[in-house]
Structure 1
């Protein structure tokens, strides 16, 4: 057989003894519930058959021994009967006188008794062989003993009840202790009964052997007396006795041989199946509920761990408090991302009432659109109003006259913040001038809707003598803009020049 098949079967098979009992549990793991049930039952049946074969080996040895003896005794019977008939023909003996008949009768009686003793001894000898091999269950006396069979059935029932109670109750349970005591008592009685039977067989064997020896001694003595009477009659008697002995012995051994053959076909009752395997209603594994719970637990733990790791690796500033703590500068206002606000007002809640007029789509300027269409920009307007208020109250005495807007990278909203802040101050009546000093990517002229033909770059390089010539008014009252103008190839040198400082001073 292929070793892989054996390994596969061993992987499917699981045999566990039931604690505190003589029971075993056979389990088969297979994708098919019908196949698993069939294999489990077949395995239990095969185990019983194997035990039956092992227990009948001793009976098979006794059967072979008696079979060889039968062949030998058959030859002896044939030879003895032939010798007797030849002697009768040669001597012409038909009958003997009374004395010889008495001697013959006595010899016949001894012969009969010796035959019985020898037959008993052979029978006990066969049983003694079974006892020597400790196969007590194959002894006829054990099999035919009703008390022993009753005790065995009682032990099987007590073992089953003890195993069932052991699974339900602790060792100190009264009924469990009572069943255990009954089980031990039944086992002790069974062992004692088997011991009594074995001792009886051994005693019977010794008695049969002694009786056989004694009868043989008497037989020899009687033979000597018979030889004195008449050689012919003695020889005749000997031949007749030998023929009868061989025939009786042959019949006795043949009967014993038949009994062993009958007992070999009777299975022993010490192994039985309490519960046969049935088709399971649901698979034993995998445990879906347990796997789902473990998966959910591992997912939760993994998610928490990942969140903690991401939180640990996050080095950005997320709240205004963090900005103030790490930069050491006061926070004037928090302006929401203009393009991240929802367009539909029904998707978010307004924390304050919209009291201002409609505004332009990008700047805080009046617009003809209805209030509901520009409701998200109301928050932007309120944010820049807070920025205006914070700047006005940022310095004691008077507010700052020059405000610089800058950022670390492009696209962070400097242009929109400059334009909206200027609009907020202009709405209070302050004269505001927006200077677009971003000489690389100027955009204030687009935000405030002025032309970019002449500007700061033209003044710094000397193409315009007066600063007032490059300052342009905007559609918003009190708001002017000094646009960038032409993009310079060297903006850094222009920004670092002294003329830019004078330009800012002139703008005051």
Structure 2
């Protein structure tokens, strides 16, 4: 047997119970708080959610597909025939003139053009002859309902016009229960559209010719007037072409502006040089263009000064070499002063010259600009007159030519739209498409089912998954007690016949998953604090009927089966239930200790077959005793903790009963029992908050009535049950 499976079989030696399940307890150990906060819901959790509802999802999808197939088979089949039109944008619509040339240049936006043709095919002028010929029933719009007789616009509901991508083709598809009628209607619509296009072009040409003729005489008189005005202006101006003269003046102005800009830059540079020269400093003079000479002279003066200083120090003023050096230094200083003055004069002269040149260029620019402005005014008027004259002449010539072209092209019947492929009767119905409908029904129902599953799970605020509980409530899940169904064995207690049923492993030797879960819960409470185990435990819940009493009884039984003295106290004096589970009488108990100050040891009872388990029943229900249980229980715990290995207290639900808070403050640890799939997270959070406010030691949470479909973490219960039924052997007496 593998190590994993060995840990699941209860050991015959009770003392070996603790170490045997250490490995199993590791599942329930909560991670650190920081890890809980940072952990995200794993992707496998969502797959588990789908697996949990897979049969419901499969049933929903199957029903949707079946209904779709049934409805599709009941529908009337429709056949579709398609006629194809070739929209040749290069085809001429006339013999001569612009209509005889390619039309592509006037229809650059092919998408807009073809969209326009599609709307024309759907127009009333194209569809009405077809509807009347084949006696089709048109669908009338809301505005058409108020129209009278044949004046109402018509539309065909089963007509579809499509342009294939990247082509100049238009497909006209029509559906009908009669395949022959569908083909004939599609061809009739195509021919009606071609005839309608020709009529539009013919009417347009005739109207154009009539309009141009009426405007021709007026344009002729206007052309003559504009030409005469242009000739008279040229005579008055005495210039053949004002535009050419304007171009010459413009070029001269640009040249003068360029020279003026350069003169300004030169004047600014020379002005800066003059200011530097006036300062008289060596650095300023050396930065000038003429500063190279004075720099060399300055360097020589520095060398002679150093030499003179050395001679003065070594030989004194009477030495001949000293006198020659002093004379030479004086000569260099005089040359330096003279050169500095000449440079300053030269720079100043260049600055004045730059000012004069800038002023002269500025005057020339202003004069040229004035002349150009006057000439531009006359050129503008000239261009206006010339443009009017040319426009009138061009318009007159165009209209005269169009009149002649319209007369010739009016009888030309070539069209840019041709019927490329006739519609033929279809062999198979296009609607309903059973395959596509089934695929769509399957896909849509599957998506909707998944959405509903996720929505249901997101709206479920009950306690289910241990990982989510640890992450949201920041508390450990100590154990999960599975649901025990009738066919898998009964829990111990008092049956309907009044007879007591044996506890697991005590007499009949039958193991089950519930037994293992209780052992796991017990070890989860005690093992983490092996060196400082709690001597007293309180089992409570948020609301009634969550299984806290059953859990407390079985927890006490399991601990006593390890041959450890265990005391089980029924502290629920309002609704006692411990006595019923262990087959005892409830005539005396905890209420007598509180009300009558009786000795609690005299009221203890020992269940049959459990010699290490002592039970203190609640006694007759008493509200007064429930209110004063705190002091009595404190005294009992102080004495019992010295005699028993552990004291387990069963108390009322914490929400709504004050005595539970008193008991929680007295015991070493509190275990909160919650009903999986029914207890709200908010209720448990409120319980934990109250216990935290009391600074009670909350050991963790125990989930009761857990089913394998509540979380992917509970799957092992079903596996363990099969395992036990195959491999477990009864304990020896």
Q: Would you say same fold, with TM above 0.5?
A: no
Higher RCO, Cα 8 Å, sep 6+: 2
Give the TM-score, by structure 1 length.
0.44
Rg (Cα) greater in structure:
1
Give the TM-score, by structure 2 length.
0.32
The structure with the greater share of residues assigned to strand is 2
